[in-house]
Amino acid sequence: MTTNPPPSPAPQLLLIPGLAGDATMWRFQRAVLPAALRPEITEVHTRPEATTVQAMAALLLAQYPGPLLLCGASMGGMIAMEAARQAPGRVVGLALLGTSARPETPEMQALREAAIALFEQGRVREVIEPNVAFAFHPSGAARADLVQDYLDFVLRAGAEQLVRQNRAVIVRPDARLHLPQVKCPVLVVCGEADQLTPLVCSEEIAGLVPGAEFEVVADCGHMLTMERPEVVNTLLTQWLQRGGWTG
């Protein structure tokens, strides 16, 4: 007599914010994602022991057991890619939004180090307010509600998190080395006018992962989950449907 193996547990969908981000980044997506996937906005990147991207990924894998669907924006995408490297058998799908697989460049490291020096002096707003022009498409930067939401969550994160997370990004691993081995379905999305992780970074990820889907969001900068939520929601929902994760 043969017995059928028990069914595989349904994966959990985790939304991973970017640097200094919190649930505000994902509020438009959280409301429309399938409840059966138990969508949750993780905050592992905020923990004091989360000093590297590798540590953030390990904390995520330890906190959330079983198969995972990981949807990461910016630094959140870096965490998602690293989690897939650490536990390829558990990560069953990746959605990578406005992120990069490349290691830090000397130019960006210098800029981050200068910002860290100001953060350590408590001069957070002085650094963050000019960053609005780089974080958003001009149409988004003209929207007072979006800009205020962005400033609010970064200021809530505070200097200590900004210092720790920027240092983690400076020493991030080169994810390009393992992306060709990724076997799960991957969706790569980038804002057409993303100045912080330019389009070429997403094109590179999509080119390295076998069978990856690649979508460009028009009239959009780096903060695509906030700037173009309807487009992002549609792309994520369709990706989940194609993967057979929506039931």
- Among 108, 76, 62, 35, which residue's Cα sits nearest to residue 175? 76
Answer yes or no: is pLDDT of 3 > 70.
Answer: no
Best-predicted range by mean pLDDT among 125-134, 194-203, 238-247? 194-203
Give the pLDDT of residue 246: 85
User: What pTM did the predictor assign?
Assistant: 0.95
As a whole number of angstroms, the distance between CA 161 and CA 92 comes to: 29
pLDDT in tens, 163-215: 999 999 999 999 999 999 999 999 999 999 999 999 999 999 999 999 999 99
As a whole number of angstroms, the distance between CA 31 and CA 53 comes to: 27
7 band by pLDDT with thresholds 50, 70 and 90: low
